[in-house]
Amino acid sequence: MEEVLLARWQFAITTVYHFLFVPLTLGLSVLVAVMETMYVRTGNETYKTMTKFWGKLFLVNFIMGVVTGIVQEFHFGMNWAEYSRFMGDIFGAPLALEALSAFFLESTFLGLWIFGWDRLSKKMHVTCMWLVAFGSNLSAFWILVANSFMQSPVGYALRNGRAEMTDFMQVITNPYVWGQFPHTILGGLVTAGVFVTAISAYYLLKRRHLPVFKPSIKIGLACMLVSTLLVMGTGHLQAQFLAKKQPMKMAAMEALWESADPAPFAIAVVVDQNNKKNSFEIGIPGALSFLAYDKFSGEIKGINELQEAAEKKYGPGNYTPNITQSFWTFRVMVLSGLWMMLVAALGAFFFYKKRLEESPFILKLLLWSLPFPYIANSTGWILTEGGRQPWIVVGLQRVSEGVSTNVTSTEIWISMIGFTVLYGALAAAAVYLVRKFILIGPVDEKPVLSVLTKKKEATLWN
């Protein structure tokens, strides 16, 4: 069993790390494209400086997402070979489609964008960034199609000892995807909105490069305000969908042990998972029923009843995810979202009143909101994936059945430590660069190259 635990840890570490970079790529590609469009439309050089500045930060982030993404594709086969055998017929298709339709697009056109400033017409150049944005967000769609099947399998039949696809349209129109995809895309826009706003706020505080960062913060705040509202809305719809389709995840994130009608919304609990109860809880009566069904009545199934039903259906076993984790990751995500929405509204209000520059307190609030999208993105995924335990594919395969049988714990230890150390070092390098670029600011491009004369040359010949 040690291998299962290690493989899970490895997946958790590499995936959460990967997803630190992905949302910013999704959202910032759109914002950089918007900025460049403004440049092309108006011919205003300030917008070009702006595009280049945010573009530079985008590139650092993008490459981190790309290289950590390769690990993602490989380790389904490396650590989860039995899962891959069981699910390959369904899971492989969206993955291959992701590479074919999205990865080629974003990587090729980003190469054109980086090196094409002087070789392409302005319109062609900005089109490249729009295609990068389209490709990135399309890749999110395909991987969420794959993930949604794991959460809520549709369009399949169990044959030949595995899940086989019977209806491709059903797989890609899985209602679960259409809850998850907008929420993820909007989460990306929230991340980018906060990123642009926070860094712009830093410059406004320092009163540096105002011509670039006043329009930047406008774009950032607008994006942040609209997308935090919409992300909340889509999240709400997703939760209502969960109440119907994944009642156990719903009960877990509410720490609701006994079925209740109307069900209260718990504000804080202390979970006693061994004794299947909460040793402490405070809540708002009826509020959970309201959130789930838009009215103050309606039954929400409790963990104990769902556990019993699962035992009847699948045989003896533990079908309850970690309740403390589900409960608190959900609340941390929601609170981070609310905080960002509040701060965006405040910022937008002060901007509208033309008092933002003279309000250091608001600017500082905006600056220090930078960690929140990252917290919300990570806790959201920990909730989603943790909440489907013990299943790797809900109802079809358990996590313990999906792990590779021929990979030893030593091998997983080596790769896990290796990735962790490597990722740590790369994060340090990336943060160093981003910090440096921010300190330098959007200076007029001096030649990136300074001739460095090296005393010791590497030689094989001559």
Partner 1 sequence: MELNVLWFILVGVLFTGFFFLEGFDYGVGMLLPFIGKNDVERRIVINTIGPFWDGNEVWMITAGGALFAAFPHVYATMFSGFYMALFLMLVALILRGVAIEFRSKDENSKWRGTWDWMIFLGSALPALLWGVAVTNLIQGIPINEKMQYAGTFFDLLSPYTLVGGIAFLLVFLFHGALFLTLRVEGELIERSRKAAVKIGLLAALVFLSLVGLTYANTDLFKSGLATSALWGAVAVFVAGYILLWLKRYGWAFTMSGLAIAFTTIAFFSGLFPRIMVSSLDPKWSLTIHNAASSAYTLKIMSFAALALVPIVLAYQGWTYWVFRKRVTAKELEY
Residues 17-46 that bind partner 1 (CB under 8 A): none
Among 18, 142, 35, which residue's Cα sits nearest to residue 75? 18
Does position 459 interact with partner 1 (CB under 8 A)? The reply is yes
Task: Work out how close the CB of 450 gets to partner 1 at its nearest, in angstroms, rounded to a whole number.
Answer: 5
One residue of 98, 126, 198, 234 binding partner 1 per CB under 8 A: 98
Does position 422 interact with partner 1 (CB under 8 A)? The reply is yes
Does position 452 interact with partner 1 (CB under 8 A)? The reply is yes
b/e per residue 136-166 (b: at least 16 CB within 10 A)? bbbbbbbbbbbbbbbbbbbbbeeeeebbebe
Q: How far apart are CA 153 and CA 236, in angstroms?
A: 21
342/425 with CB nearer partner 1: 425
Does position 85 interact with partner 1 (CB under 8 A)? The reply is yes
Q: How far apart are CA 384 and CA 424, in angstroms?
A: 25
Q: How far apart are CA 223 and CA 363, in angstroms?
A: 17
One residue of 4, 37, 82, 134 binding partner 1 per CB under 8 A: 82
Task: Work out how close the CB of 34 gets to partner 1 at its nearest, in angstroms, rounded to a whole number.
Answer: 22
What is the maximum span of the chain, computed from C-alpha positions, in angstroms? 84
Q: What residues between 110 and 129 interact with partner 1 by CB under 8 A?
A: 110-112, 114-120
For residues 266, 269, 274, 277, the Cα torsion angle rounded to the nearest 10 degrees is -50
Question: How do the residues of the chain divide into helix, strand and coil, expressed in percent and rounded to 5?
Answer: 70, 5, 20
- Please give the full DSSP string across 186-213, using - where no structure is assigned: HHHHHHHHHHHHHHHHHHHHHT-SHHHH
Q: What residues between 379 and 408 interact with partner 1 by CB under 8 A?
A: 404-407
Does position 428 interact with partner 1 (CB under 8 A)? The reply is no
279/406 with CB nearer partner 1: 406
For partner 1, which stretch binds (CB under 8 A), given 93-101, 227-235, 246-254, 321-329?
Answer: 93-101
Does position 92 interact with partner 1 (CB under 8 A)? The reply is yes
Using DSSP, state whether 89 is helix, strand or coil: helix
One residue of 24, 32, 34, 90 binding partner 1 per CB under 8 A: 90
Tell me the per-residue interface mask from 140 to 179 with partner 1, x by CB under 8 A, - otherwise. -------------------xx---xxx-x-----------
- Contacts with partner 1 by CB under 8 A: the residue count is 87
The burial of 448, by beta-carbon neighbours within 10 Å (0-12 exposed, 13-18 middle, 19 or more buried), is given as: exposed
Does position 415 interact with partner 1 (CB under 8 A)? The reply is yes
Task: Work out how close the CB of 457 gets to partner 1 at its nearest, in angstroms, rounded to a whole number.
Answer: 5
For partner 1, which stretch binds (CB under 8 A), given 264-272, 355-363, 371-379, 411-419?
Answer: 411-419
Tokens 């340090």 correspond to 428
